[in-house]
Structure 1
Amino acid sequence: MDSINASNIGVVKADGLTYYTPANNAGVALSEDLKSIPTLFRPLQIRDVTLKNRIIVSPMCMYSADPDPKSPAVGALTDYHISHLGHFALKGASLIFIEAQAVQPNGRISPNDAGLWQHDENSAQFLGLKRVADFAHAQGAKIGVQLAHAGRKASVNAPWVAAEHGLHSLRAESSQFGWPGDIVAPTGGPDFVWSGGGPEDKQYHVPRTLSVEEIKDVVKAFAASAAAAVKAGVDVVEIHGAHGYLVHQFLSPVTNKRTDEYGGSYENRTRIVRQIATAIREAIPPGVPLFLRVSATDWLEGIEVAKESGSWDAESTIRLAKELPSLGVDFIDVSSGGNHKDQRIDPHTSYQINLAARIRKELHESGIHSLYVGAVGSITTSSLAKEIVEGADSTTELLKDEAKAAESVVSGSEPKADAVFVARQFLRDPAWVLNVAKELGVKVSLPHQFYRAL
């Protein structure tokens, strides 16, 4: 046995923290034989960021930020968020998305939502984000920020407050730090209240129509928030274009009745996505990945409200997806629905996974391999997560040749997605990554402090 050199013995301190804690990197497959590792635990490189596995924590609103606009801490992440997000980092998740952060004050879903419209490096919003990012990095995880604007779905109370009154949602009034006079949408008026009710409805406020100048301000706000996020240490930026929030409202002809450059044709309705993506790409370093979350369909096909105008559907999403690489977008995060009360979803375990699979297949059949695809929704078991990303995987070092990638599509061995996005299962089981590894027989690294539990 070699003699022990005392100078090389000791705990390695995590960098970037003002307090002492060991550096960790849980969730890394320990086998050196890449072929023996399930795809779920193989690394994935996107620009300059390498994910240690394919399990990503989806954004989850916590409704736990200071709502008072007079408070310097309004919208800022706190110690609660370090605790909430930090234990996912400690326990092996590769990339953790912070809950949706509004790029403008009136873009929050609720007064208690997080925001990132304060860009000064001494602001509470910037410093709160930096603390979360620093802790995640100390645990070996990457951190992502989802930038959002709620549009007509803004200024509601936290969901448990609504539930206490027997409602799915309850609008927040000025006395509750809401902003009832500044709810915005591509097209406003009583007919465009999210719940579909009139002014007497207590669930949501009536929105007003955004001016063209205000739309341009929204685009600038996304870019400025993205730049601030990267300065705060965020590794990945995502545009929230799903679930009936503002960007999705522009995409769908059901909610976008504008007659100017931002409405009408597909090109006009998608203009805001192109402008936001381009503005963010110019505002952040070239090595920082840019994601886009979309609702792949409104689930309104054949429904009365969409018979005249049509709706946002899978074909529209595939068309947009093919344009994303030219805009500097690296990853499409595929969800669905949330834009109209009449949506008709046939919920089953794979309903959104199948949407992701279709989009990925269409991209690859068109020769587009530079846009990664994520699946989200009801992913709760190790077997399902493994199945989604398994196959002849063209996104790893094992398969870079485009001819082989195309061949894998034809042979039916193409994965359904390149990574899985998991939300509620992490609320049930914060150690889900480690438990999935155990169930799949993959030996992975653990936090140093946890090894004695083996």
Structure 2
Amino acid sequence: MSNLFQPYRLRSLTIPNRAWMAPMCQYSAAADGPLQGVPTDWHLAHLGARAVGGAGLILTEATAVSPEGRISPLDVGLWNEEQREAFRRITRFLESQGAVPAVQIAHAGRKASTAAPWHGGRQLRPDEGGWTTVAPSPLPFTDDGPVPREMTTRDIERVVADFARTAELALAAGFKVAEVHGAHGYLINEFLSPHSNHRDDEYGGSYENRTRFALEVVDAVRAVWPEELPVFFRISATDWLTENPEDPREGWTGEDTARFAKDLLAHGVDLLDVSTGGNAPGAAIPVGPDYQVPFAAKVREETDLPVAAVGLITGARQAEEILASGRADAVLLGRELLRDPYWVNSAAVELGDEPRRPVQYARAY
């Protein structure tokens, strides 16, 4: 059996393979009314197709812990019972196809309140269906963007409680993995990075202070999540600022990530989902195949925390080599699964493994 199709065990959970679906926003929920933030038939079909296609674990798109935590008005959320019941339908189907249902819980911070990409992706004013965003510091994401409201300590406490409440709802909805979204310039990433966190209280300044909010969220989620089920954390391993000698801006680094991984492990996180970027517009990012994998490999080499690699992983043998070389414990596929929902089953055939095909399709083979 190839490395890619070996089962993977975390706590009491066994994931059938190591080819997983990354979170990808669909901008397909209702923006307001009683169905605000509720996943729709689109989400069932979209996520369900990748389960049929063989993915071992399927992560939802960034699922907001509150209305103001959504990236856009069209994002899904999980802060009420209606959303919980809609997700329950999805998790049941994913499990029926042999996939592990996982939820990414998130708050978008200063990058919230945006239009869908096909509507321009710009930040929306309150009179356009948007809202005032919040952040660790009153710094806009772009020079000409809206200035977010600086969060008070009471705001921080409320958001931590929101993460815990969403985790409770996610468990009731049938999810087996909870992933805390700390990447891509959203709220937790904003606190971690000195590029976006200019606070002078206990949540800013030193490394210990800037990581405090993230660890409080992890502790709150871990406290309500069953001991036998895993918690993931998604991180942007670098802002691509100090990694680039030509960019004088201070930011979060690969060294910070390796250090933080040890803290996350001590607080009960079971796997680090390693991405990069998203917090600093204009950062020079050397995009290419495997360009983020070295950051995952660094964490795996320097800590005991398992890692998943992501980013321009498009080929079966490429994914297999990442695992076989010991650079990651699993791979997450994003755009490649948008192009081909059955990529994982095709990869199994290419690598000489047994694809997980539904009995309804047997006559095709």
Common fold: TM-score over 0.5: yes
Report what 1:20 is aligned to.
Answer: none
1:169-220 CA-to-partner distances (Å, cap 9, x unmatched) read: 31223343211xx2100001xxx211222xxxxxx43211000110011111
Report what 2:100 is aligned to.
Answer: 142
Residue 390 of structure 1 pairs with residue 342 of structure 2:
no
Report what 1:130 is aligned to.
Answer: 88
Q: CA deviation at 1:116?
A: 1.0
Report what 1:83 is aligned to.
Answer: 45
What RMSD, in angstroms, separates the aligned Cα atoms of the two structures?
Answer: 1.1
Larger Rg: 1
Whole-angstrom distance in 1 between the partners of 2:34 and 2:218: 30
Contact 1:155 1:205 in 2 (8 A): no
Report what 1:376 is aligned to.
Answer: 310
Report what 1:342 is aligned to.
Answer: 282
Q: Which residues of structure 1 form unaligned runs of 5+?
A: 1-36, 163-168, 198-203, 392-414
Match of 1:423 among 294, 312, 334: 334
Match of 1:247 among 180, 184, 188: 188
Q: Which residues of structure 2 form unaligned runs of 5+?
A: none
Q: Which runs of 4+ in 1 moved over 3 A?
A: 302-305
Report what 1:17 is aligned to.
Answer: none
Report what 2:358 is aligned to.
Answer: 447
Contact 2:51 2:99 in 1 (8 A): yes
1:84 is aligned with what amino acid? H
Report what 1:196 is aligned to.
Answer: 143
Give the alignment of 1:27-426 within 5 angstroms: 37-68=1-32, 71-118=33-80, 123-162=81-120, 169-179=121-131, 182-188=132-138, 192-197=139-144, 204-301=145-242, 302=245, 306=249, 310-363=250-303, 368=304, 371-391=305-325, 415-426=326-337
Tell me the number of residue pairs that the alignment of Structure 1 and Structure 2 aligns. 363
Whole-angstrom distance in 2 between the partners of 1:111 and 1:303: 37
Whole-angstrom distance in 1 between the partners of 2:307 and 2:211: 19
1:187 is aligned with what amino acid? S
1:393-412 CA-to-partner distances (Å, cap 9, x unmatched) read: xxxxxxxxxxxxxxxxxxxx
Contact 2:53 2:356 in 1 (8 A): no
Whole-angstrom distance in 2 between the partners of 1:276 and 1:98: 19
**TM-score, normalised relative to structure 1:** 0.78
Contact 1:242 1:248 in 2 (8 A): yes
**TM-score, normalised relative to structure 2:** 0.97
SS of equivalent residue, structure 1 residue 385: helix
Matched-pair identity in %: 46
Contact 1:426 1:432 in 2 (8 A): yes
Report what 1:7 is aligned to.
Answer: none
